[in-house]
Structure 1
Amino acid sequence: MNAPTQVPTSRVRRTADVDLADPSFWQLPRPERLSAFALLRELDAPALFTPRTGPHAPFHALVRHADVKAASRQPHLFASAPGVTTPEPARWAKAVFGNSMVNMDGAEHAGLRRTISRAFTPRLLAATEENIRDIARRLVDEMIADGPGDFMPSAPSRMPFEVICDLMGIPGHHRAEIAAQIDQASEYVGVRRRGRARLRVPGRGLRSLGRMQMVMAKLARERRRRPADDVISALVRADVDGQALSSRQLGAFFSLLLVAGVETTRNAIAHGLLLLTAHPEQRALLESDFDRYADGAVDEIVRHSTPIIQFRRTVAAEATLGGRTFVPGEKVMLLYASANRDASVFTDPDAFDITRTPNPHLGYGGGGPHHCLGAHLARLEMKALFHELLTRLGNVRAVGEPVLVDSNFDNRVRSLPFTFDNCHPNGPV
């Protein structure tokens, strides 16, 4: 294991200094927020936070690995409905755009997830795995041609987007429009630094989601007439409990897959380059035997960076967890970013160690019915891209400081300058 990582001294020295409901907390440097989470994990029970302004409800913060995992696996006690983000999606928005699968519980969620899972057939996934390798090679070809610059618009963003578009069967002439709508839908994720400090979370870009769903509805109609070997065709022919999927159900799933699938993997790839740059001994180990260490490297990148910081749950029935009894209607925040640094589970949790084993991180959720449907796909994408980057771009690395988005929802990288010393167009020499 590499030497312990020294976390900078934090201005957050006591639990009284921590207020997760204050937007200014999410503007603190990330090491200070992680120090605050460590303080909260030492409490006897989950702390309660009350927003000072706005209509948002008070919430308890679940910060320990065991508590986040337990709540995730007991949806009958800690429900995803009416919504896992803040603010919760409005009823009219659900009626117009459809309810996202992440906001469902019970039979409704299980039926839709089962139908979607069946659309990802073994044959389709096998073809996708080869396609992922082809996309990774092509994107690195383009990086070699373009030279160093901003890492984010290239491989990190395009890799998951192109993989999902190919898997779903989205024609090339629709992709530029859909990519623009994804950017606009996620534009306000974070906290504004200027003007009134307001938390910005997914759901603000409803107009963009609406435009994207119009494209998807058109594609669904085309696939009903002329099916192809893709996910759209499989879903428009599928049914949930004997009923065909509605346009709203299809649109809500497409939006979730495109926005969530692109953003989370994009950010994990960016943080992966930052971590391998900051820890050259870990990079050297990975390069020494990529096939041996790649899976561990991907899991450790996801644990260390935790692309999704938190989701909310609503208490559905009286429950005792972490030393506190919750009553129906109360809100809890599942802090994955804290759970993944829990010293009771991870030895030297602030260290970046690609040989860490076991590594029961909660970067894809805490298990249970809402465990990330795209986790396997994200792992394949990261492994394929890092293999190409490390074998074909000599000493590829981040340079300068990344521009991060202050957010209480995701660990987003807006821009990241990078460079490399030389390249091997056809692979290592």
Structure 2
Amino acid sequence: MTVEKPQERLPITSCEQIDLSDWDFWARPMAEREHAFELLRERDTPMFFAEPEVSYAPPGQGYHAIVRHADILAISRASEVFSSAAGGATNINDMPPEFTEYFGSMINMDDPRHARLRRIVSRAFTPKMIQKFEEDVQVAASTVVDELLEKGPGCDFVSEVAARLPLKIICDMMGIPEKDYRFVYDRSNIVLGASDSEYVPNADMESIATALLTAGAELQQLVQELAAERAEKPTGDLISALVNANLDGERLTLQELGSFFILLVVAGNETTRNAISHGLLLLTANPGQKQLWLSDIDGHAPKAVEEIVRLASPVNYMRRKVTRDITVNGVDYREGDKAVMFYWSANRDAAVFDDPYRFDITRDPNPHVGFGGPGPHFCLGAHLARREITVMFRELLTRVPAIEAGRPKRLFSSFINGVKHMPCEF
């Protein structure tokens, strides 16, 4: 199957016209997609869809599209029944064995394996290391804005601002040399944007699979080579801590270290980049909210950041597979069923959020699922992401208060709500 954007589409007026597995749907304008998910949320039960047709995975039996906030909370809490390991959580089709070598990280595991890896990684983040990273965020954000002011208006906000901060922090945290920043950036773009022709030209399914496996192998090789060096000569970075960690007899294998690094650079880099990009878009479209934030930058920051994450929802979905028959919120799920949780939709659920499409930096409460639902898979990097978004907007609002976003060029993806490029003026 060739991934391409059709030129003509009929407007969506009923659920029967919606196919979340069709690339045509994800090529539609944002307003049409929003309306489609509204229709899906109005249903009494989740709608069932056939799985996407891909050449690198066997055809599956379909999936339930979980679009309401209450259902996502309930399924996330029942992690012992809704499995992340059975075929993988980050793709609707079951992950082929060759993919698990690079993408079989803790996000695609259940307890006790998931708990073991999370425990080892969490212990590596010592208080001293966390404090250093938080200080590094401030220094890096200041440098990014310094260079933005030098370049002047008209530059690409995504590559010059939004992408640079999380990329530097993640690479510095792991101990990746600055000469390899661009290498990591380009490969992470492929991992999350392989369906977009900018990153994988002529993107048929065979070339997408090849590009994903190649990018995964290259990232894993980079971190494993560094791990071999740090095993002999630790340097105080996260790779050194993880490769030398032997806490209660537990340590990461080289394959686990490689998969964790891929998860970190992809989840910690791409998602925060998109949250910052969407944040500037939201402030540009809502000048009253921008002025309100400017009136008390530090005071409004905590709620403003949560509201940005809610509306940005950088990760559209995660998938689970049912391990035994269960009834959740009145819906029967059978062993082997797949449930795909659309966080982006849940964060616009009018049953939970008053006027859900309104950008309100004072919104309280704000029980969004932008970092995933409750339970063992809540985002490990949520604290760092909040810190990066907070500091980046403090620098921008303090030093470049007139900055505004131009027309964004969106990533063509069903998995990531991404912005590839976006000019800025100030």
Q: What's the TM-score, normalizing by structure 1?
A: 0.90
CA separation in 2, counterparts of 1:157 and 1:202?
25
The match for 1:167 is 173
Cα distance in 2 between the residues matched to 1:223 and 1:287: 44
Residues 47 and 61, structure 1, Cα contact 8 Å, conserved in 2: yes
Counterparts of 1:73 and 1:236, CA distance in 2: 32
Task: Name the counterpart of 2:64.
Answer: 60
| Deviation of 1:38 (Å) | 1.3
Q: How does 1:264-413 map to 2 (within 5 A)?
A: 264-399=271-406, 401-413=407-419
Cα distance in 2 for residues equivalent to 1:315 and 1:309: 20
Q: Structure 1 residue 176: deviation in Å?
A: 3.2
Comparing 32-41 and 177-186, the one that deviates more? 177-186
* Pairs within 5 Å for 1:240-279: 242-279=249-286
Q: Which amino acid aligns with 2:28?
A: L
Report % sequence identity.
Answer: 44
Structure 2 distance, partners of 1:93, 1:201, is 12
User: Letter of the aligned partner of 1:63 in structure 2?
Assistant: V
Does the CA contact (< 8 Å) of 2:102 and 2:262 recur in 1?
Answer: no
Measured against aligned partners, the alpha-carbon deviations of 1:234-281 in whole angstroms (never above 9, x if no partner) come to 111224772431110100000110012111001111000000000000
Per-residue CA shift, 1:25-75, capped at 9, x if unaligned? 111111211111111111111111114745244110111101011111111
How far the C-alpha of 1:214 sits from its partner, in A, is 1.1
Residue number in structure 2 paired with 1:144: 149
Q: CA deviation at 1:142?
A: 0.5
CA 1:203–1:306 in 2, change beyond 3 Å: closer, same or farther? farther
Q: Which residue of 1 aligns with 2:81?
A: 77
Question: For residues 38 and 74 of structure 2, what CA distance do their matches in structure 1 show?
Answer: 19
Number of the residue aligned with 1:121: 126
Partner AA of 1:38 in structure 2: E
The residue type paired with residue 323 of structure 2 is A
Amino acid at match of 2:378: H
* AA of the residue aligned to 1:284: Q
When the two chains are superposed, the root-mean-square deviation of aligned CA atoms in Å is 2.3
The 3-state SS of whatever aligns with 1:160 is helix
Is 1:24 the equivalent of 2:24?
yes
Distance 2:294 2:208 in 1: 37
> In 1, distance between residues paired with 2:186 and 2:53?
32
Q: Which residue of 1 aligns with 2:160?
A: 154
Deviation (angstroms), 1:328: 0.9
Match of 1:176 among 173, 179, 182: 182
Structure 1 residue 172: Cα displacement = 2.3
Quick check: 2:141–2:165 contact (8 Å CA) kept in 1? yes
1:36 aligns with 2:42: no
Taking the aligned partners of 2:184 and 2:68, their CA distance within structure 1 comes to 38
SS at match of 1:48: strand
Cα separation, partners in 2 of 1:91 and 1:310, compared to 1, 3 Å: same
Contact in 2 for aligned 1:86/1:201 (Cα 8 Å) = no
Q: C-alpha displacement at 1:184, in angstroms?
A: 3.3
Secondary structure, counterpart of 2:241 in structure 1? helix
- State the Cα distance separating 1:14 from its structure 2 match: 1.9
**Which of the residues 132, 137, 144 maps onto 1:132?**
137
Could you state the TM-score of these two structures normalised by the residue count of structure 2? 0.91
> Which deviates more from structure 2 when the two are superposed, residues 302-311 or residues 180-189?
180-189
Provide closer, same or farther for how the CA distance between residues 187 and 309 of structure 1 changes in structure 2, counting only shifts above 3 A. closer
SS in 1 for 2:318: strand
SS at 1:19 equivalent: coil
- Count of equivalent residues: 409
Q: Give the Cα separation in 2 of the matches to 1:199 and 1:264.
A: 26
